[in-house]
Amino acid sequence: MMYGNYGMGLWGTLFMLVGGLLLLGLIVVGVLLLAHYLKGSDQPSASAGAGPSARQVLSQRYARGEIDENEYTQRLNVLNATEPRRGGG
């Protein structure tokens, strides 16, 4: 007599259960990877969009009158001296 397992027996039931769980896991992983891909493609990297650079902040402070020309040039010289060199060979 068949008791609701459609004549598959114990092994058939176990294979069906394991196969269903694997399929569900693949679907969940696929959705998570798709969400990660879509989220990552719309947003810039953290270092690129972290905020204004030190030069921009310094220029804004000078434009607002928070610092005078002498302090602006001194701080700009410090920024130029500490800035990493690019493409020097």
What whole-number distance in Å separates Cα of residue 39 and Cα of residue 51?
20
| Per-residue confidence (pLDDT) for residue 29, from 0 to 100 | 97
Q: Tell me what the mean pLDDT of segment 43-68 comes to.
A: 80
Tell me the pTM: 0.40
pLDDT at 81 over 80: yes
Q: Tell me what the mean pLDDT of segment 59-76 comes to.
A: 92
Residue ranges of domains in the chain: 53-81
Percent of the chain scored above 70 by pLDDT? 76
What whole-number distance in Å separates Cα of residue 74 and Cα of residue 89?
29
Least confident of 33-42, 46-55, 76-85: 46-55
Contacts of 60 (CB under 8 A, 6+ apart): 52
